[in-house]
């Protein structure tokens, strides 16, 4: 992947974050991880996406993620996308920017 392609990928991601109001670090990390899991493990199927997080992090994106198991304070649990969350993740999927470079950036929380 060339530097220009990397820059273009980052521009698309930044536009997506702004367009969907994912302006805080927690919101950004939660939804980028949901996107990464959707692409890496579910072949882009937002209906199957489950992400692991803690309730205090999910609180900031409660309109995008909901619990799929019983929730306990400060304990990791499974969350799935709400209908709005599915639309937000699908919006980025439609931009067709997924690649291993992006996977590594999100996984290492380097964005």
pLDDT bucket at 6, cuts 50 / 70 / 90: confident
Q: Which of 31, 23, 37, 5 is nearest to 103 (CA)?
A: 37
Give the pTM: 0.90
Over residues 46-60, the pLDDT tens digits come to 999 999 999 999 999
Judged against a pLDDT cut of 90, whether residue 108 lies above it is answered with no
Judged against a pLDDT cut of 80, whether residue 45 lies above it is answered with yes
Give the separation between CA 61 and CA 17, rounded to whole angstroms: 13
Judged against a pLDDT cut of 70, whether residue 11 lies above it is answered with yes
Ordered by start, the domain boundaries in the chain are 3-107
**CA separation, residue 30 to residues 2, 5, 50, 82 (Å):** 27, 24, 11, 13
**CA separation, residue 26 to residues 2, 8, 44, 60, 72 (Å):** 29, 23, 22, 7, 19
Residue pair 37/68 in contact (Cβ under 8 Å)? The answer is: no
pLDDT bucket at 77, cuts 50 / 70 / 90: very high
Residue pair 82/24 in contact (Cβ under 8 Å)? The answer is: no
pLDDT of residue 36: 93
Give the separation between CA 44 and CA 58, rounded to whole angstroms: 21
């Amino acid at each position: 992947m060339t530097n220009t392609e990397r820059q273009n990928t980052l521009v698309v991601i930044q536009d997506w974050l702004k367009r969907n109001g994912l302006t805080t670090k927690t919101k950004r990390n939660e939804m980028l991880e949901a996107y990464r899991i959707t692409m890496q493990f579910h072949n882009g199927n937002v209906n199957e996406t489950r992400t692991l997080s803690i309730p205090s992090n999910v609180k900031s994106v409660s309109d995008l993620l909901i619990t799929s198991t019983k929730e306990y304070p400060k304990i990791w649990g499974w969350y799935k996308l709400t209908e709005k969350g599915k639309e937000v993740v699908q919006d980025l999927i439609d931009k067709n920017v997924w690649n291993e470079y992006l996977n590594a950036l999100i996984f290492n929380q380097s964005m």
